[in-house]
Structure 1
Amino acid sequence: MKARTNVIENQVEALKRDGEVKQVAFSASLLASGSGTLGPFNTLTPLTFRYVVTNIGNAYNPHTGFFIAPVRGAYHFEFYIGAHGHNSHGSGAVLVKNGEHIFIAYEHQPSGYGSSANGATLLLEVGDVVFLRQWVNSRIFDNENHHSTFSGHLLFTM
């Protein structure tokens, strides 16, 4: 009877670990400190959001800019891109999943400050990589007010 109780307790512990699998959420802005504009660049350029406010589950890497799915599930991502108006350069970024462009946020105005935003819910497998790329020939602004941000969280596992 004692051996059977130990087996059941081990099974319950394993189920608890599976049930608590991951609580995953992150939010970061582009610049760790100061103020600045990135770009324009003549190619798509990966963005690294360095000022991390939240990184529950440590699935977002502020050194690479990559979010790597720790569990299979539905995840929601949002991104906000800010820039000062410019005659020749808009502001924009693309949400990328495993190298595939998913959605873009883009705006272009000749003067003043503008921003664009987008979001998506994605089914991710363990190890899938999600990140942002700066759009070709665009500019992105950020400062201590954190205008340009990237966030995501696990909605539910599957």
Structure 2
Amino acid sequence: MGHNLFCGQVASLLLEHIITPWEQFRSWIFSPELNVNPPQSKLQKSPRVAFSAALRDSGSGDIGPFTTSTPLKYKKIFSNYGNCYNPSTGVFTATVNGVYFFRFSMFNNVSPTPNSVVSLNKNDQLLVSVWDTSGTDSHDMGSNAVVIPLKVGDNVYVELAANRLVFDDGMTYNTFSGFLLFPE
């Protein structure tokens, strides 16, 4: 009899001090007045846009010089989520309005001329550049990066300046990468 009384007291305490407050909390947190449930649009998956590519998928040697400034075509694709980067043209085309991060690197194996000048462009406007002037050294490398807003249809690409060249081989020195930080 004492054992049953004790079990009844424990059950009563559990109900009074643990289960009942939990049920009250649960009904409060999910109440329509509190509105803590995220809207359905927030539950939808965010767009996945990211790519990374290297200049050559095989072989080695100089790329350029060309008589006019020329978009570089990065052929070795490491990733291309959202298929926004086109290796045939070297152009990334935004399919989502948002803020993006882009980075590129440049390598040359040239001494003393021609030197290398490579720029990141948005819709035919220069954003940032990397360059290496002629000198007594060779095997020079540089990179640059930006965070920029893009609208659907905006194009971003890396351009080799006229009469300049870069070198690449299986070590994949020249890369171009970008990704969506957040949609707007």
With the length of structure 1 as denominator, give the TM-score of the two structures: 0.85
More strand by share: 1
Corresponding position: 1:69 with 2:94: yes
Bigger Rg over Cα: 2
Amino acid at match of 1:66: V
Matches for 1:7-156 after TM superposition, within 5 Å: 12=40, 15=41, 19-110=44-135, 111-156=137-182
Q: Distance in 2 between matches of 1:112 and 1:88?
A: 10
Unaligned runs of 5+ in 1: 1-10
How many residue pairs are counted as aligned between the two chains?
145
Q: Shift of the alpha carbon at 1:124? A: 0.1
Distance 1:112 1:88, change over 3 A: closer
The answer as to whether partners of 1:35 and 1:143 remain within 8 angstroms in 2 is: yes
Tell me the amino acid that sits aligned with residue 112 of structure 2: N
* Superposed structure 1 runs of 4+ greater than 4 Å apart: none
Letter matched to residue 156 of structure 1: F
TM-score (norm 2): 0.74
Instruction: From the two aligned structures, give the one with the greater helix fraction.
Output: 2
Aligned to 1:144, the other structure's residue is in SS state coil
Structure 1 position 85, deviation (Å): 2.6
Q: Residue type matched to 1:102 in 2? A: L
Confirm or deny: 8 A CA contact 1:92 1:116 kept in the other structure.
Answer: no
**1:142 Cα deviation from its structure 2 partner:** 0.9
| Distance of 1:142 and 1:88 partners within structure 2 | 17
Partner AA of 1:151 in structure 2: S
- Opposite residue 108 of structure 1, the aligned amino acid is T
Give how far 1:16 is off.
6.1
Give how far 1:154 is off: 0.6
Please tell me whether the aligned partners of residues 119 and 158 of structure 2 are also in contact (alpha carbons under 8 angstroms). Answer: yes
Q: Which amino acid aligns with 2:122?
A: K
1:29·1:49 contact (CA, 8 Å) conserved in 2? Answer: yes
CA RMSD of aligned residues (A): 1.6
102-111 or 22-31: which moved more? 102-111
